[in-house]
Structure 1
Amino acid sequence: MDEKKVAVIGGGLVGPLCACFLARRGHEVHLYEFRGDIRQAEHVRGRSINLALSARGRAALRQIGLEDKIVEHHAIPMGGRMIHRLDGSQYRIPYDPKNGQCIYSVSRRYLNEVLLTAAESYPNVKLHFDHKLVAADLSKGAMTFRIPDEKSEVCANADLIIGADGAFSSVRRHMMKRPLFNFSQTYIEHGYLELCIPAREDGEFAMHPNHLHIWPRGTFMLIALPNQTRSWTVTLFMPFAQFAALKTPGDVLQFFGQHFPDVIPLIGPQRLGADFFATQPSPLVSIKCNPYHVGGTALIIGDAAHAMVPFYGQGMNAGFEDCLLLDSLMEQHHSNFPLVLEQFSTTRAPDAEAICDLAMYNYIEMRDLVNKRSFLLRKKLDSFLSWMFPETWVPLYSSVTFSDMPYHRCVQNKDWQDNVIHRCVAMAVAAAGVGITVGAMAWF
Structure 2
Amino acid sequence: MNRTRPTTTLDAAVSQVMRRLLPFLLLMYVLAFLDRANIGFAQKALQHDTGISNAAFAFGAGVFFVGYALFEVPSNLLLHRVGARLWMCRIMVTWGLVSAAMSLAHTATSFYALRFLLGVAEAGFFPGVIYYLARWFPQSARARAVGVFYFGAPLAFMFGSPLSGLLLDLHGAFDLAGWQWLFLIEGGLASVVGVWAFFYLDDRPEDARWLAPEARQALSAALDDDARAAAAHGPHNLLAALVDGHVLLLSAIYLLIQMSVYGVIFYLPQQVAVLMGESVGLRVGLVAAVPWICALALTWYVPRRADLTGTHRRWAVVLLVLAGCGIGVSGLAHSPLSALLALCCAASGFIAAQPLFWTFPTRYLTGAAAAGGIALINSLGSLGGFIAPTLRTSAEHAFQSTSAGLLLLGAASLLAALLIGTLMRRDVSRDTSAFPQPIHRAR
TM-score by length of 2: 0.27
More helix by share: 2
Which structure dedicates a bigger proportion of its chain to strand? Answer: 1
State the structure with bigger RCO (CA 8 A, min sep 6), 1 or 2: 2
